[in-house]
Amino acid sequence: SFGLWTIQIFVNEGEVITNIALMGIGGVMLGTVMIISATILYSIISIVRERK
């Protein structure tokens, strides 16, 4: 949402609002870390269940 907002402002006004752009980048990075963590946790749980 912040990324699209940044692009919209850039198209309309020709300038990038740094704070909004950083929020968008931070959100993408946080989401990526959470997806990787979820994948690792799911893999660990699957391995532990197989050993029982």
Q: What is the pLDDT of residues 10-52, one digit of tens each?
A: 999 999 999 999 999 999 999 999 999 999 999 999 999 998 7
Instruction: Give the separation between CA 41 and CA 52, rounded to whole angstroms.
Output: 17
Residue 25: the pLDDT is 96
Q: Are 38 and 31 in contact (CB under 8 A)?
A: no
pLDDT at 12: 96
Question: 15: which 2 tokens?
Answer: 């300038």
Q: Residue 29's domain spans which residues?
A: 2-51
Amino acid in position 30:
L
Q: Which residue has the tokens 């979820």?
A: 38
Name the domain count of the chain: 1
